[in-house]
Structure 1
């Protein structure tokens, strides 16, 4: 097998694993990864947060965040309210149902990844980062909208193993 074939195979495995975790998250919680990310961001700001700040924090486009917010609001998981201090500003907050959903959701997959990544030597972390950035550039994917999260967490990983 050529080296480029091995690399593409490894990339497909990462994509497949992420997809499986995403499907499991949706099955377990009824939430998508971006929905979970947004709920976490809103919960982390008890005095409220704007949609633009959420988009900035999780590195998704404002349009993407707005669409996800519409779905979350429609499901009764969060609500939008005009700021009393600045009427142009709309503040997001979780509903009781949104808080319950967030409490029941598994930890994101990246938490396990982060622990493993941080246990690597600094030079190896830099090498992996540089390699992935180069791959993204080679795939013309540098400007794509992507959150800083892989998908779901340990619970879903355990469930996946049990299902297979």
Structure 2
């Protein structure tokens, strides 16, 4: 038992060297995301999350709020308010299921589709340019590493 504890402490202490550079990288990504979110808000007043929701709705013929919640990593409560704002702007529609009246489908509206045609990318243009400049295998590795890092932040 003592050996396992010592082993865990050694592993944990070896991670400490990575804390600062990882935190700095996460902070730089966060700052870039915040700057881009301000750019997006100037375009049609959309937040990055609203844009992402519209993009998912465009890809799906219809989707329930609970399925959408999982796809965009938002809680049901947060998503509900976001959906209300998009519906008020006429960018999405809610439709009751014919067989099960308790089920409600979300669909992108024609106005939402038109907005997406003109919408900027979810990622900052500089990021996309640099991403396009690296080999595809490296893009896959970068995406996998970011997704894996995001998993570390999730509750078990």
Given candidates 61, 83, 90, the residue that maps to 1:76 is 90
2:156 equivalent to 1:120: no
The partner residue of 2:149 within 132, 149, 155 is 132
1:42 corresponds to 2:60: no
**Which of the pair has more CA radius of gyration?**
2
The answer (yes or no) to whether the contact 2:131–2:139 under 8 Å persists in 1 is no
1:15 match: 30
Matched pairs, number: 135
The residue that corresponds to 2:108 in the other structure is 94
* Structure having the larger proportion of residues in helix: 2
Are 1:58 and 2:72 an aligned pair?
yes
SS at match of 2:107: strand
2:46 is equivalent to residue 31 of structure 1: yes
Deviation at 1:132, TM superposition (A): 3.2
Q: Is residue 117–residue 125 contact of structure 1 (8 Å, CA) maintained in 2?
A: no
Note the C-alpha offset of 1:45: 1.6
TM-score by length of 2: 0.69
Q: 1: distance between equivalents of 2:114 and 2:143? A: 38
- 1 or 2 for the larger relative contact order (CA 8 Å, sep ≥6)? 1
Q: Deviations 1:31-74 (Å, cap 9, x if unpaired)?
A: 1111111111111122x211111112222212221111011011
Contact 1:82 1:89 in 2 (8 A): yes
Aligned-residue RMSD, C-alpha: 3.2
- Structure 1 length normalisation: TM-score? 0.66
**Structure 1: where are the runs of 5+ without partners?**
144-164
